[in-house]
Amino acid sequence: MALSHSPKIVTDGLVLCLDAGDGKSYGGSGSTWTDRSGNGYNCTLDSSEVSFVGDQKTLYFNTGISTISGPSTPNAFTTFSAFKKIGTQTNIYHVILGGRTHEISIRDNSTLRVSTHNGSDQILDITSSSSGYDLLDGNWHFITSRYDGTNLKAFINTEHVGTRSVSGTTSDSRKVIRIGCWESNDYQANGYIPFVYIYDRALTDAEILQNYNATKGRFS
């Protein structure tokens, strides 16, 4: 698969690619955010709550609800990445990706939470004091969650900021994720999400760096 807007991102194992900077993924209006991976996991936007910001080619989620049916558990080994910028701080719990099997969210005290589910929730929380990043500082942050079957790891930009030892496969069968809110439509995000990438394998540190370098120029 070739992506003309970001030819340097990693495509091996890419099962979901939503990118508001790619006109073939989002043309600037409408309720469909098209998956460019070729797998057809398109996202349905709540167009009354999600708007397009053309100068930065990003979607602004004003407590918006967006759903995808399909790739929440491609297999046990997954990598989720998204750029994120929090808007007006009105919510105490900003979910970037929410589902039963995986989560990336930012809490009111700038705590990054990533989780996976292997019979029970395996949660990794990284505080701003431990990571050195204030995720509510109004800047863009590239956030990645990686599960390799042994460890759940979190990255901010390209820095590894936390690890939780987790063994086993993700076990929940509900293959639905939501972007900008939790599965029950609560804990809505209030901020900007220009793209979401999901892989069915654990990317290497070098590949996470590759994706960051291929996209960071859009937000400088």
- Band the pLDDT of 171: cuts 50, 70, 90: low
Q: Residue 181's pLDDT is what?
A: 74
Question: Cα separation of 132 and 97, whole Å?
Answer: 22
List C-alpha distances in Å: 92 to 59, 63, 106, 178. 20, 12, 8, 18
Burial of 29 from C-beta contacts in 10 A (0-12 / 13-18 / 19+):
exposed
CA dist list (Å): 162 to 113, 154, 159: 10, 5, 9
CA dist., res. 115 & res. 73, Å (int): 13
Band of residue 74 on the pLDDT scale cut at 50, 70, 90: very low
**pTM exceeds 0.85 for this model:** yes
**pLDDT on residue 183:** 65
Residues 6 or more apart whose CB falls under 8 angstroms from that of 129 comprise none
- Of 80, 88, 112, whose CA–CA distance to 178 is shortest? 80
Residue pair 111/83 in contact (Cβ under 8 Å)? The answer is no
Structure tokens at 130: 């431990």
- The token duo for 101 is 């099997």
Whether residue 60 is predicted with pLDDT greater than 60 in this model: the reply is yes
- Above 60 in pLDDT, residue 42? yes
**Which residues fall within 8 angstroms of residue 210, CB to CB, at 6 or more apart?**
8, 9, 10
pLDDT at 92: 66
Give the model's pLDDT for residue 86: 79
More confident residue, 83 or 29: 29
pLDDT tens track for 115-126 = 887 777 888 999
Among the listed ranges 61-75, 91-105, 112-126, which one has the minimum average pLDDT value? Answer: 61-75
* Highest mean pLDDT, choosing among 56-70, 73-87, 106-120, 195-209: 195-209
Per-residue tokens: 16: 């979901």
Residue 23 pLDDT greater than 90, yes or no = yes
Could you give the CA distance from residue 37 to residue 19 in angstroms, rounded to a whole number? 10
